[in-house]
Structure 1
Amino acid sequence: MRHDHHGRTHRLELDDQSLRTWDSTVLASDPEDGLVLDRSAFYPGGGGQPPDQGVLLWGGVQTRIVGVRPRDDLWLVPDPDDPLPPVGTQVRGAVDDDRRSLLMRTHSGLHVLRGVMARDFGVPVTGGNMEPGQARLDFDLAEVPAGFKESLTEKLNAEVAADRAIQVRVLPRAQAYALGPIVKTATDLLPPDLEDIRLVDVVGLDLQADGGTHVASTKQIGRIEVAKVENKGRGFRRIRLKLVD
């Protein structure tokens, strides 16, 4: 299967992360399962990034999309109070721009954090999660030096100010792995049968396999604040971020 498809759905957001509206055709419509479109820019969730939300406009009405269920097909989850467009209906899809844009900034901020922690401390990621505007990453970090929270905040915002480009490309598996360590978690979770790998490159700081959505440069992230550094046990540090503008 092509990297930009999930089942019968062409995933438009993988090719154009700025896309917010598009036209498509309903391929499946079920009160229990939801909707399948031939083309969709709703990010389905994954890698800690939540799925998109938005609306489908059709026949003078709208169907709110409140989530996505990635199965063999990419099933959009409609609001249970809204009507379902039948199979064959031409619809206009629209992603909630505020939510998506904030998630893109947040996700890119996590890549900056990951890059700084790998560069300055040489530690792998052991877990993570994000919501719009706030997120966390867990690291295998034995010791936290004095002033760590404040100095890390300064380092992250120096990378934001550096306006590093954030580039996306897709390479065959062997070629991608030949670039160096592209999996920054303690365990490589990439499926062994994945032939093509999508790479997100914060140029000069962090290169890794990633399927999420991102801004085009670190400057677009905005100011980052390290909200809290938590000790979750021996060698287990949780760093919580929030975007402050």
Structure 2
Amino acid sequence: MSEPLHINQHPGTNPPSFECTVVDSQVIDGDYWVQFDKTYYYPSGGGQPADHGTISADGIKYSILDVKKRSEILHLLSDSVNVDSLVNQTLTAEIDQQRRDILCRMHTAQHLVSAAADELFSATTIGNQINTQKTRIDIGIESRDSFSKDDLESSVNNYIDSAVDVSMSFRPRDELIEDPLVRVNMDLIPKNIHELRVITIDGIDICPCAGTHVGNTNQIGYIEIGKVKSKGAGKLRVEYTLVD
């Protein structure tokens, strides 16, 4: 089984290069995938897209275009290669740092947008899709008239200005259920998971999350809220971008 090193890495910015060994290879629908004994690559999930990067062996460099978690963590190679020949080889892996850092900023900002929407409008986040160019969040809100795009943007940017630490820990599920800063519906998390990886933005938000994040809100940069669309009764889709 691949050791998912990203789970214990926080902050998620500036991921290290690392040595790994290919332990398995697969061809799935004509695509070439490899499994490492350990990996810092983040697999797509929780609304956050996968890391990209490269692996190198014997002077040959291959691009990693996608990472997925099935029964194991699989890495998609860009080239049609004899993947079986890579098995048992030790490689040097490098994650695209610019892409990872932007996704860390976007993902941490998503926690702040969700927290601010809850505080300002009693709105619940019901979905999100993080990306490098823009991120969208779907919120459930009782009164559309209570929503203010400007108030939401201002509140999030004030959180960012406050330079609040962002930390990672592992906490018992039962402990989180009683915490008022946990805004997610804990019933949506399988009950057989008793200890959860948690991202805490001090005094603002506590969220079970396996994604990658910055270490302080001042590393996000400001956000700008763009389109706000109705997605049916009691639902809004809010899009935002980062402002460097």
Does 2:145 correspond to 1:152? no
Any stretches of 5+ residues in structure 2 without a counterpart?
Answer: none
Letter matched to residue 227 of structure 2: K
Cα distance, 1:11 vs structure 2: 1.2
Of stretches 222-231 and 77-86 in structure 1, the one that deviates more from structure 2 is 77-86
Aligned counterparts, 1:26-175, within 5 A: 26-32=22-28, 34-81=33-80, 84=83, 86-145=86-145, 148-175=148-175
Cα distance, 1:240 vs structure 2: 0.7
Q: Could you state the TM-score of these two structures normalised by the residue count of structure 2?
A: 0.90
Q: 1:127-149: CA deviations, max 9, x gaps? A: 21111141111111133447812
Aligned to 1:202: 201
Of stretches 26-35 and 160-169 in structure 1, the one that deviates more from structure 2 is 26-35
Q: Could you state the TM-score of these two structures normalised by the residue count of structure 1?
A: 0.90
Cα distance, 1:99 vs structure 2: 0.7
Q: Distance in 1 between matches of 2:61 and 2:49?
A: 22
Aligned to 1:5: none
Q: 1:90-128: CA deviations, max 9, x gaps? A: 101111111111001000000000111112222211221
Contact between 1:139 and 1:236, CA under 8 Å: does it hold in 2? yes
Q: State the number of aligned residues.
A: 237
Any stretches of 5+ residues in structure 1 without a counterpart?
Answer: 1-7
**Displaced runs of 4+ in structure 1, greater than 6 A?**
none
Q: 1:158-197: CA deviations, max 9, x gaps? A: 1110011111101233333343463525x73212221320
Q: 1:52-102: CA deviations, max 9, x gaps? A: 111111111011111112111111111134564521111011111111110
Q: Distance in 2 between matches of 1:197 and 1:59?
A: 39
Does 2:3 correspond to 1:10? yes
**Which secondary structure state, in structure 2, belongs to the residue aligned with residue 80 of structure 1?**
coil
**Which secondary structure state, in structure 2, belongs to the residue aligned with residue 132 of structure 1?**
coil
Letter matched to residue 202 of structure 1: I
Aligned to 2:217: 218
Q: Distance in 2 between matches of 1:118 and 1:146?
A: 12
Task: Indicate the RMSD between aligned Cα atoms, in angstroms.
Answer: 1.9
Contact between 1:63 and 1:82, CA under 8 Å: does it hold in 2? no
Contact between 2:115 and 2:183, CA under 8 Å: does it hold in 1? no
Contact between 2:123 and 2:142, CA under 8 Å: does it hold in 1? no
Cα distance, 1:221 vs structure 2: 0.6
